[in-house]
Homo-oligomer: A and B are copies of this chain.
Amino acid sequence: MELLVRYLDRSNSISSVTTPDVVKEEKLRDDLRYYFMSPCEKYRARRHKPWKMGVQILKIVMITTQLILFGLNNQQVVSYNEETTMAIKNLFLKGYSGVDEDDYCVAVYTQHAVYDSLFYVLDQYSQLVQLSVGPISYAEDEDGKLLPLEICKEYYKKGSAEPSDEVYDIDAQMESVCMSLDPKSAQQWRTLNSSFYNLDFYRLIDIKITLQLKGINLQTVRSRELPDCYSFYITITFDNQCHSGKVKIFLDIDAKSSRCRGWKISGTAQKNTQYLLVFDGFVILVCLTSAVLCTRSIVLAVRLLQRFSRFLRENYNRKVCEDDQSEFLNGWYVLVIVSDILAIIGSILKMEIQSKSLTSYDVCSIFLGTSTLMVWVGVIRYLGYFQKYNVLILTMKAAFPKVLRFCCCAGMIYLGYTFCGWIVLGPYHEKFEGLSLVAGVPVLPAER
């Protein structure tokens, strides 16, 4: 930036002669000086009102409000899913303590306990409607027929020869036996296919029970919105593939939002939703304005740069160096534009969700969240206009590469330690059991 500064400074000293060329040069100098001013100085110089800054402040307020509204809504959905998961685990798993161990729900150690847990699932399933507190019921297919429970057991095949009493003879091939149970006849499950429930534990790999339930999130009814219905795809796995004498029981739930059938909800209006849609539209408008203003600023800056470089080339036969060029491309504007685009996409997704035509909360929250993060980080730019903050920001800029370099060196040692610790200490200490544990990276569970 030295050349630029020198150029601007010199301009003040030799401004006595006023040929047309000098006028043009003076004009350029003025424009350049104006370009590098802060909003405050611009106002003082040309009475230019800081529209852009105003839009940004308005945007911060609106985007944050929108995010909080969406988050609160989202939280309700999440808590419904969580509570239903909890309720289903408590209904179907015998001896469930309320907390999952490691990754499985319950572990059993005796043949008797395996049978007990298995029959408990079937018993609870057959009495579901009398048991459950919530409006959870058997799911139906398109024709309104109740979907059956599927129970499959996977075995290693028996070897060819008839095994003697002591010798276990198995084949590496696996075979699978399944059975399905209609909800209506579920009460008589004991009498149907009773031979199915004899398990050869030494060959057994796993038992999988898959069933499908449906539920309804009535919370929204209170705020006069239409409720969401859910289908729960439940898989209960008795996992014996380790053959260690410990059978781990897993219960996985996959919740999908679906159209409500079999429910008649009267008295809900869409008023609230309409206000929200209007608000979202306004947010999109503000973001568009902000993006347009920033694009315009970038375009103007590029044009100014072209004028300046042409001037230098013609009059002094010098090129604008790269450092000076980069001064013209304001990184903050790019940040604002990116955040605006994200916010607009997020808002559109939000409107779709609000009007129940989409259910991808996750994608929407990533867009809205990232844009809000960027908007807040963008505030730092305005702090940079105050002299003293600027020093701070410049210092941080200078220190950054050194810190990065140090992290790089430390990273190498860290990687070596991670691999070595995992392999050498892994078998002896819990803290070194998995690669991610040694590395200290917390693994996010797929779905709580």
Within 8 A of B (CB), among A41-71: 64, 67-68, 70-71
- Give the residue name and chain of the B residue nearest to A260 (CB): B168
Q: Is the CB of A168 within 8 A of B423?
A: no
Question: Contact string, A363-389, partner B, CB cutoff 8 A, digits 1/0?
Answer: 001101110111111011001000011
Q: How far is the CA of A108 from the CA of B112 in the complex (A)?
A: 26
Set of chain B residues within 8 Å of A401, measured between Cβ atoms: 388
Q: Does A87 contact B (CB under 8 A)?
A: yes
Q: In the complex, what's the smallest C-beta–C-beta distance from A54 to chain B, in angstroms?
A: 18
The CA of A64 and the CA of B412, in the complex, are separated in Å by 13
Of A184-192, A274-282, A428-436, the stretch lying at the interface with chain B is A428-436
Chain B residue contacts of A235, Cβ below 8 A: none
Known: A262-B168, A429-B448. A74 touches B423 (CB 8 A): yes
Residue in B closest to A421 when the chains form the complex, CB atoms? B369
Interface stretch, picked from A29-37, A285-293, A317-325, A402-410, is: A402-410
Who on chain B is nearest to A86 by CB?
Answer: B246
A121-163, CB under 8 A of B: which get 1 and which 0?
0000000001111111000000000000000000011011101
Among A135, A244, A375, A435, find the residue whose CB has the most chain B CB atoms closer than 10 A: A244
Q: Is the CB of B87 within 8 A of A245?
A: yes
Please tell me if the beta carbons of A135 and B412 are within 8 angstroms of each other in the complex: no
Tell me the complex Cα distance, A109–B244, Å.
Answer: 32
**Which residues of the partner chain B approach A240 to less than 8 Å between Cβ atoms?**
133-134
A172 at the interface (CB under 8 A from B): yes
Residues A96-112 near B (CB distance < 8 A): 107-112
Give Cα A392 to B83, complex, Å.
53
Chain B residues whose CB sits within 8 angstroms of the CB of A219 once the complex forms: 241-243
A416 and B71 within 8 A (CB): no
Q: Judge whether A445 and B429 touch: CB under 8 Å.
A: yes
Q: Does A218 contact B (CB under 8 A)?
A: yes
- What number of copies of this chain does the assembly contain? 4
Is A328's CB within 8 Å of the partner chain B? no
Query: Whole-angstrom distance from the CB of A47 to the nearest CB of chain B?
Result: 29
- Checking B109, B172, B368, B393 against A266 with a beta-carbon cut-off of 8 angstroms, the contacting residue is B172
Contact at B416–A373, with CB atoms within 8 Å?
yes
Question: Please, how many angstroms separate the alpha-carbon atoms of A435 and B243 in the complex?
Answer: 40
Query: Are A420 and B369 neighbours in the complex by a CB distance under 8 Å?
Result: yes
Chain B residues within 8 Å of A405, by CB: 388-389, 392
CA distance A245 to B370 in the complex (A): 34
A107: chain B residues at CB < 8 Å are: 86
Given contact pairs A110-B133, A160-B266, A445 touches B419 in the complex (Cβ within 8 A)? no
Q: Report the separation of the CA atoms of residues A70 and B422 in the bound assembly, to the nearest whole angstrom.
A: 11
Q: Given A80-B242, A110-B133, A424–B172 Cβ distance below 8 Å?
A: no
Counting from the closest, the 5 A-B pairs by CB-CB distance are A87-B245, A376-B416, A134-B245, A172-B267, A83-B244
